[in-house]
Amino acid sequence: MSETQGARRARLLERVKRLPDEPGVYLFLDAGKHVAYVGKARRLRTRVKSYFSSNKDARRAVRFVSRYVHEIDFISTESESAAFLLESKLVKRHKPPYNVKLRDDKDFLYVCVDRSHAFPALSLARRPQKKSSKQVSFHGPFANASALRRTMRMLGGIIPLRDCSDREFASRTRPCLKYEMKRCCAPCVDLVGQDEYAGMIAEAVGVLEGKCEGAVARLEEQMTEAAADMHYESAARHRDAIRYLRATTAHQQVENIGVQEADVVGLHRAGELVEVVVLAFRRGALVSTAHHTLESELPDGALLAGFVQEFYGELRPVPREILLPAEVPEASGLASFMGASRGAAVKVVTPKRGPRAKLVSLALRNAKDALVVAVDQRGHQRRLLEALSDRLGLPCVPEIIECYDISNTGRTAVVASRVVFRHGEPDRSRYRHYRMKTVDGQDDYASMKEVLCRRFKRVSTDPLPDLLVVDGGKGHLKIALEAAAESGVKDLPLASLAKGGRRGRAVTLEDGEQEHVFLPGRSDPLVLAGRSPEEYLLQRLRDEAHRFAIGHHRKARSKESLYSRLDDIPGVGPVLKKRLLQSFGGTRGLARASVEQIASVQGVSPVLAKEIADHLERTLE
């Protein structure tokens, strides 16, 4: 007889009570007695018990335990540091499916300079030594390999360093073709001294680190000389190189707010799908970014702790600071573990305010944007749509979703928008804008009803979606139901989406607001779990409707702001209107002018001048 979920939970809790309250590693086993997850703890009993409690990080943990965990095992250790090492070994041995795995991970590229050679070349390395030395130094990391290689090729035309092998260098008796192309200074045949070459190496490394003033000055001088000699093609090449260097440096300096050396981690989740972004800051500049798409039901804190250990591994250099968007279990132990790998102290912190908190916010925005790309590229849309269908109780998976939003400020330029998602992706060919025809002034309900009634009249040429969403609360849903009933539309799944109140706690990972979904036949809204797949999809839908509506509203408002009372006078076109306003400094000045003065303007007859004066007198009273 199979064990019920409640009975299994009670049995596991009894097991938890017998765990030691000391450092160690715990192992969650699945139904087949295979290791599903390995974790470490400073206090085993307290840490494992948190998976069964109702604290702030427990909702996802409880779901994970109830689904996958059938047995709990543990190994005690002498210290927390030993627990970190043991966890790393056990993960490599058992390869548990629910620990973080960076399957798509690629090591950053580094630029290596081996100064044991009198004339070193710049080379690329994937796995540098843990520390640079006086003889060998590593510069980076650079996450974008293609951009780095492009920069290296550009450098070859700016700073003529050698790029041949040591064997070729030693066998040379005369300069190679690259010397004739001015892409090498030929140190192999002593055409440049060691001191001058060392200066060129320093300049090249400076360019890679975003310090290109020397190279730009050299190029500007060469460009001026080439232009003076009428070598315009050469001058154009120097000009393009200067632009490239300045653009590269400007990109590297984005968001430079004083943090010298840190990796900033951002995380955004849509159910089991998680996007993690690492922004690498070196010497106060953003030098690279790395993106990783994971699938995990682990709580954010446990996921981040596992990610940090997996990301840095054994050979990847660890920075002075690792900034995280959420608290991780045993953060001090993780910092000690990372410090042992670096050979110096490492801070693992979750900043709440100041420059570091701004960097974490930047990483969070990057993670959110990257998740949209990952969903589109990796084909996760079907999973999101199925989750939305299950949560809202829809009769079918909503392959086509429409969302409507009203945008207005004051009593003018009231507009509405329709956006359409097909298979979870925006279908911009079916986007629509609406201007109100029957509603005067600001009335969201009446405006929404007009728009929906106009939409339902076009069912014969524009088939209904699988789900229609309106932005707003219960009142907006009522209006949508009335519009459908009056238009004879039946069995159309409807929903309204509104932001709820604060959760009552400050969490860096999310904006603190829940989504409330109002459905027909329910008196209370459906409150979506934070960062669930269905909430993620609905937020994308609503944000796109906002963006589309606001963009059109700004155009409409701008057009209305250009309206003039002269537009209502027959015979006054755009050219004549412009001439009149320029002659008298505006509408008020024109109204104060006499008929004779108005008639003196080119193109204005005495009859038209009298009409203009009378019209302005009436309308400006």
Please tell me the predicted confidence (pLDDT) of residue 144: 60
Please tell me the predicted confidence (pLDDT) of residue 510: 42
Q: With a cut of 70, say whether residue 146 has pLDDT above it.
A: no
Take residue 37 and report the two structure tokens written for it: 């997850």
Q: How confident is the model at residue 236 (pLDDT cuts 50, 70, 90)?
A: confident
Q: How confident is the model at residue 254 (pLDDT cuts 50, 70, 90)?
A: very low
Residue of higher predicted confidence among 461 and 566: 461
- Dihedral of the alpha carbons of 613, 614, 618, 621, in degrees to the nearest 10: 40
DSSP-derived secondary structure for 227-249: HHTT-HHHHHHHHHHHHHHHHHH
Residue of higher predicted confidence among 287 and 55: 287
Please tell me the predicted confidence (pLDDT) of residue 84: 80
Q: Do domains 261-374 and 383-560 have the same CATH topology?
A: yes
Candidates 2.20.25.90, 3.40.309.10, 3.40.1440.10, 3.30.43.10; correct CATH number of 5-94?
3.40.1440.10
Please tell me the predicted confidence (pLDDT) of residue 62: 62
Q: How confident is the model at residue 486 (pLDDT cuts 50, 70, 90)?
A: very high
For 549-598, the pLDDT digits (tens) are: 776 545 544 444 434 567 667 778 778 888 887 788 777 778 888 888 88
Average pLDDT over residues 461-479: 90
The Cβ of residue 284 has, within 10 Å, a number of other Cβ atoms equal to 15
Residue percentage of the chain with pLDDT more than 70? 80
Average pLDDT over residues 63-70: 75
Q: How confident is the model at residue 417 (pLDDT cuts 50, 70, 90)?
A: confident
Q: With a cut of 80, say whether residue 336 has pLDDT above it.
A: yes
Query: Which of 51-60, 306-315, 405-414, 539-548 has the weakest average pLDDT?
Result: 51-60
Residue whose C-alpha is closest to residue 338's, from 360, 316, 364, 363: 316
Please tell me the distance from the alpha carbon of residue 449 to that of residue 470, in angstroms, as a whole number.
11
Question: What is the b/e burial string over 18-44, where b = at least 16 CB atoms within 10 angstroms of the residue's CB?
Answer: ebeebbbbbbbbbeeeebbbbbbbbbb
8-state DSSP, 271: T
Average pLDDT over residues 431-451: 84
For 507-530, the pLDDT digits (tens) are: 334 444 567 899 998 888 888 766
Q: How confident is the model at residue 494 (pLDDT cuts 50, 70, 90)?
A: very high
Q: With a cut of 90, say whether residue 481 has pLDDT above it.
A: yes
Query: Which of 209-223, 443-457, 468-482 has the weakest average pLDDT?
Result: 209-223
Please tell me the predicted confidence (pLDDT) of residue 452: 93
Sign of CA dihedral 463, 464, 465, 470: positive
Q: How confident is the model at residue 56 (pLDDT cuts 50, 70, 90)?
A: very low
Average pLDDT over residues 499-503: 53
Q: With a cut of 70, say whether residue 251 has pLDDT above it.
A: no
Please tell me the predicted confidence (pLDDT) of residue 153: 78
Please tell me the distance from the alpha carbon of residue 280 to that of residue 335, in angstroms, as a whole number.
18
For 128-138, the pLDDT digits (tens) are: 665 555 678 77
What architecture does CATH give domain 261-374?
2-Layer Sandwich (3.30)
Per-domain boundaries in the chain: 5-94, 109-252, 261-374, 383-560, 566-619
Please tell me the distance from the alpha carbon of residue 178 to that of residue 84, in angstroms, as a whole number.
52
Contact between residue 289 and residue 267 where contact means Cβ atoms under 8 Å apart: no
Please tell me the predicted confidence (pLDDT) of residue 130: 53
Read off the pTM: 0.50
Please tell me the distance from the alpha carbon of residue 304 to that of residue 302, in angstroms, as a whole number.
5
Contact between residue 477 and residue 525 where contact means Cβ atoms under 8 Å apart: no
Contact between residue 85 and residue 160 where contact means Cβ atoms under 8 Å apart: no
Q: How confident is the model at residue 615 (pLDDT cuts 50, 70, 90)?
A: confident
Average pLDDT over residues 67-72: 82
Please tell me the distance from the alpha carbon of residue 215 to that of residue 193, in angstroms, as a whole number.
19
Q: Please name the fold of domain 566-619.
A: DNA polymerase; domain 1 (1.10.150)
Q: How confident is the model at residue 58 (pLDDT cuts 50, 70, 90)?
A: very low
Which residue's entry shows tokens 């004779």? Answer: 596
Q: How confident is the model at residue 19 (pLDDT cuts 50, 70, 90)?
A: confident
Query: What are the beta bridge partners of residue 515?
Result: 499
Residue of higher predicted confidence among 54 and 465: 465
Average pLDDT over residues 132-159: 70
Residue of higher predicted confidence among 113 and 151: 113
Q: Hey, which of 156-160, 198-202, 238-242 has the most confident mean pLDDT?
A: 198-202
Q: How confident is the model at residue 506 (pLDDT cuts 50, 70, 90)?
A: very low
Please tell me the distance from the alpha carbon of residue 216 to that of residue 161, in angstroms, as a whole number.
16
Superfamily of 383-560 according to CATH: UvrC, RNAse H endonuclease domain (3.30.420.340)
Please tell me the distance from the alpha carbon of residue 230 to that of residue 546, in angstroms, as a whole number.
55
Average pLDDT over residues 367-380: 69
Q: With a cut of 80, say whether residue 44 has pLDDT above it.
A: yes
Residue of higher predicted confidence among 252 and 71: 71
Q: With a cut of 80, say whether residue 7 has pLDDT above it.
A: yes
Q: How confident is the model at residue 15 (pLDDT cuts 50, 70, 90)?
A: confident
For the chain, give the mean pLDDT.
78
Q: How confident is the model at residue 330 (pLDDT cuts 50, 70, 90)?
A: confident
Residue of higher predicted confidence among 140 and 49: 49
